[in-house]
Structure 1
Amino acid sequence: MPILGLGLHVIVAILFAVHVWRTGQERWWLLVLFMFPLLGSFVYGLTVWLPEMSRSRGGRKVVRGLRNTLNPGRELREAQDAFEHSATMANRVRVADALQASGRNGDAIAAYREALRGVHADDADIQVRLARALLENDEAPAARELLESLIARRPDFKSAEGHLIYARAVAASGDRARAREEFETLIGYFAGIEPRARYVEILDGWGEHAAAARLVEESLSHIKHMPAGARRLNEEWIRRLKHASVRAVAPP
């Protein structure tokens, strides 16, 4: 479908041309992209953009999301095949991750619990993943209890993702005072925008529109100073933050 008179393939070529310029790629890529926008974009995406994205954690999520959009269930099928070929703990966790990403949180919970056996019974990383699945399965009190037990046993263990899951579980459990403390700490050190966006949504849900509006304003100012690459990796959370800002600034 044309967009502002341009074909979608031309829009993609323009976006890749911006990527060429910002990341310092060879300038002949610009010629390829604009002389052959469809084929050039395909080749550039396959040989430059996807490999670059795959080198970062956030980029790997983007690539997995793209692959899942183009081929739903692919990661789960591949994970299950890998586990059938080699029933290692890593492959079992991969299956659990794929189940959780597919929205099958109940199955993911069972798979993570299977992984937490034997020598891996106290694996902190798997427990964080299990807590995430519990939270997504509307079992916030269980997620909070699991992470508090982990914190008590492993006070040296540090996980920004685990901290965010804990803060969300505390908020979902109705403990507003503790949730405020956790989110304010998270916002102070978390590299991404997710804690800010989630906290704005939570404040808005509590009816604390003025506090949500203040956080939106401060966060949008913070985003302006983020590198372009970091903004790209946080696109979803920036979008959610801006969407929440409409409700926060102008509540019904």
Structure 2
Amino acid sequence: MFYYIVIALQVYCIYHLIKNRNPYYWIFIILFIPAIGCAIYLITQVYSKRNTEKLQDDIVSIIHPAKKIKDLEKRLEFSETFQNRVNLADAYLAAKEYQKAIVHYKKALEDDIQNDVFVIKQLIEALYKSENYEELIVYAMKIETLPEFKKTRTEFLCGLAYEKLGDLDEAEKHLKQIDERYSFYEERVILAKFLLKRDKKEEAKEIIDEIYIESQYMTKENKKRNRAIIAEVEALKQEF
């Protein structure tokens, strides 16, 4: 538990120093002497009687997402606005409470005045995570002609939903839209495996080879972030 508290404090301190444009040398202090560095930063840069309560709330919300949800529920109860409802739905989605997120996204979409493309995209994410593929397709069709849909994760999820429903041609059409070089590595690996299942070995091989070549030029940070994907690509290369 102590480890997670320290991580939360580091996240908060770095966020605070960037937001308030404090000297960047604090980052090294916070990262290399975590507990002591965070304590020194909080005492010298953040602490004051008037913001003690806010600091406590921010840290608690990082450690306990349930508190953030409860606060957002109270805010929506006090003021039933479009944005308050979407914020609560987003919090439910982040907390993997997909059914509750779906309820609030749908309620928000009843407001015809607001620009609802973002809400539909978030709803599609929640519907996919809750395995409600048929309804996902219904909402995807509402925005499929918009640039916010094309070549995005939302279209990719639409393709996966079609695959789950057995419409493989439609699935392939949407999944292939995500095949952009130097991006969407995980999604492209999924696409390659989808093509393998359809006996399209050459197309799958081309994608895997491209990702492998791209991985050779990644920065250390990108390699670390995509370590699992790179390992999977190297394993898949052995199958060809």
Deviations 1:193-242 (A, max 9, x none): 3422432454577787886565334213223434566x28x92xx24424
Pair 1:99-2:92 in alignment: yes
CA distance in 2, matches of 1:95, 1:240: 32
Aligned 8 A contact 1:201 1:244 in 2: no
Deviations 1:56-105 (A, max 9, x none): xxxxxxxx9xx65x324243223223322322111101111222222222
Pair 1:158-2:151 in alignment: no
Which structure: larger Rg?
2
Deviations 1:133-168 (A, max 9, x none): 1111111122112212333xxx34423232222222
For structure 1, list consecutive stretches of 5 or more residues without a partner in the other structure.
1-7, 17-24, 48-63
CA distance in 2, matches of 1:29, 1:96: 33
Match of 1:89 among 61, 82, 104: 82
The alpha-carbon deviation at position 245 of structure 1 amounts to 3.8
Describe how 1:64-143 pairs up with structure 2 within 5 A: 70-120=63-113, 123-143=116-136
Match of 2:172 in 1: 180
TM-score (norm 1): 0.61
Aligned 8 A contact 2:117 2:148 in 1: no
Q: CA RMSD in A?
A: 4.3
Match of 2:159 among 161, 167, 170: 167
Relative distance call for 1:88 and 1:187 in structure 2 (3 A) is same
Relative distance call for 1:37 and 1:162 in structure 2 (3 A) is closer
Aligned 8 A contact 2:136 2:161 in 1: yes
Pair 1:147-2:140 in alignment: yes
Match of 1:52 in 2: none
Count of aligned residue pairs for this structure pair: 206
Aligned 8 A contact 1:124 1:157 in 2: no
CA distance in 2, matches of 1:44, 1:148: 50
Letter aligned with residue 167 of structure 2: D
CA distance in 2, matches of 1:241, 1:105: 26
Describe how 1:50-65 pairs up with structure 2 within 5 A: none
Aligned 8 A contact 1:216 1:241 in 2: no
Letter aligned with residue 120 of structure 2: Q
The alpha-carbon deviation at position 117 of structure 1 amounts to 0.9
TM-score (norm 2): 0.63
Secondary structure at 2:211's aligned position in 1?
helix
Secondary structure at 2:112's aligned position in 1?
helix
CA distance in 2, matches of 1:248, 1:174: 25
Secondary structure at 1:225's aligned position in 2?
coil
Letter aligned with residue 73 of structure 2: Q
Relative distance call for 1:30 and 1:114 in structure 2 (3 A) is closer
Aligned 8 A contact 2:26 2:41 in 1: no
